[in-house]
Structure 1
């Protein structure tokens, strides 16, 4: 196998597996139901597909060339993550049984996963700078970068559903009223902190 492909797969796997907003939003949906977690994971992968497609097309360069657009997307992304976190924390006011078993339609977890990932403007720029590093000299850029992009999406389609299944397997314990409230508080707090940090970074840089 191409050594560069193997190296890229390792780097991409690390990028995908690092806990962040995507990981947290998948966990919170998987606590509702395995299906919700897996659907949310697919939404995250769809967001990654968008980012990698932008990187392959070179459109992500616009975000670097137009600082105001990049700044606006960062604020939107941070605001959405903060919204999800605050909503989780507000759920703690409800009875534990309600917090632990709130049904959600398939569209809602899918949308949450997609939007959480898609509103991260750093992702396309990261891929835009990363993908060319694994294109051999003389190789056709488009087929190669397309293959690398598919590897990233494939890794996400393995990792995030696996996280959802694991959380669901632990669900008997995690969905107990006290445990459910504790996990909701942790995920809500994590998303809130992430949202604040995502909002603070562009505001402080302005």
Structure 2
């Protein structure tokens, strides 16, 4: 692997592992079950695959050039994260078994992970600005950017399932009623705050 690929891998790993809405929603689902956590992690990776594909295709440039479209996606993303946060906090009023049954199928966590990541309009623009920096001068752009995009997706497929498995491993302690309520309160509050910040940023 050449030096530029090593450098990109380090930068991309930092971006993927940075705590945010993706991390929080994976933790929240992993607390319900390993299956839900892994499904949510795969959904996040699917969202990153979409973003990197958009960046490679140049569609992200359209978002950068059309402020109204970018702001609309910001509002949608912020509203969805806020919705997840409020829903998590409201779920604290219900019996624990009801929350577990709600996430019993893989479809809901998978969708939550995908939508949470996919509705982040900053991601494709970030990749659009980042990927060209690691394409050597004179090298064909498309094969190189596809390789860089693949690295991002592979990192996501390693990191987020690892987070879900770690939370599940600690689950015996974390799923105790008092600990579970505390963690869900923290994750719900974090999602609500992130969603509110995204909405405020979009409205500014």
- Point out 4+ residue stretches in structure 1 off by more than 6 angstroms: none
Aligned to 1:193: 193
Aligned to 1:142: 142
Aligned to 1:86: 86
Are the equivalent residues in 2 in contact too, given 1:96–1:178 (CA < 8 A)? no
TM-score normalized with structure 2 length: 0.97
Q: Tell me the alpha carbon deviations over residues 80-138 of structure 1, each in whole angstroms, 9 at most, x when there is no partner.
A: 00000000000111234545665431111110000000000000000000000000000
Structure 2 portions without partners, runs of 5+ = none
Aligned to 1:45: 45
For 2:18 and 2:104, the matched residues in 1 are separated by: 26
Are the equivalent residues in 2 in contact too, given 1:97–1:177 (CA < 8 A)? no
Are the equivalent residues in 2 in contact too, given 1:100–1:181 (CA < 8 A)? no
Are the equivalent residues in 2 in contact too, given 1:100–1:176 (CA < 8 A)? no
- The number of aligned residues is 204
Structure 1 portions without partners, runs of 5+ = none
For 2:186 and 2:100, the matched residues in 1 are separated by: 14
Over aligned residues, Cα RMSD in angstroms?
1.1
Are the equivalent residues in 1 in contact too, given 2:103–2:109 (CA < 8 A)? no
For 1:169 and 1:200, the matched residues in 2 are separated by: 36
Aligned to 2:56: 56
Aligned to 1:110: 110
Are the equivalent residues in 2 in contact too, given 1:100–1:175 (CA < 8 A)? no
